[in-house]
Amino acid sequence: MTAPDLPAELKAALDARLQGLSLNDAVGRAALISKTYRDGGGSGAIASQADALAYALARMPATYAAVTASLNALREIRPHFAPASLLDVGAGPGTATLGGGRSISVVAKL
């Protein structure tokens, strides 16, 4: 079973990028981007590296945990589940691929 927490090296990298960025600013940016998506807008709301970082800080942990929990549950009911590949068709930073790749260690091709 894979832990639902972001891998330590990814969390450390995100935390390092947060240095010099106001936490309140990051929260505000992430909220605005999320609202834009909920209102049917596209990724144009992410207009800078600070926007991308804010959104990653807000969404990556939950997305990673959800993907990991789903695949852990699948492995419990189908222990021989062994996909040969994984395709992440989302529009984000690859969080589902990361969670899937770590949860299903037998994946040959990401």
**Is 1:99 a contact under the CB 8 Å cutoff?**
no
pTM for this model (two decimals): 0.77
Q: Is the pLDDT of residue 35 over 90?
A: yes
Q: What is the pLDDT of residues 41-96, one digit of tens each?
A: 888 889 999 999 998 888 888 888 888 888 889 889 998 887 777 777 776 777 87
* Least confident range of 10-14, 62-66, 98-102: 98-102
**Is 61:34 a contact under the CB 8 Å cutoff?**
no
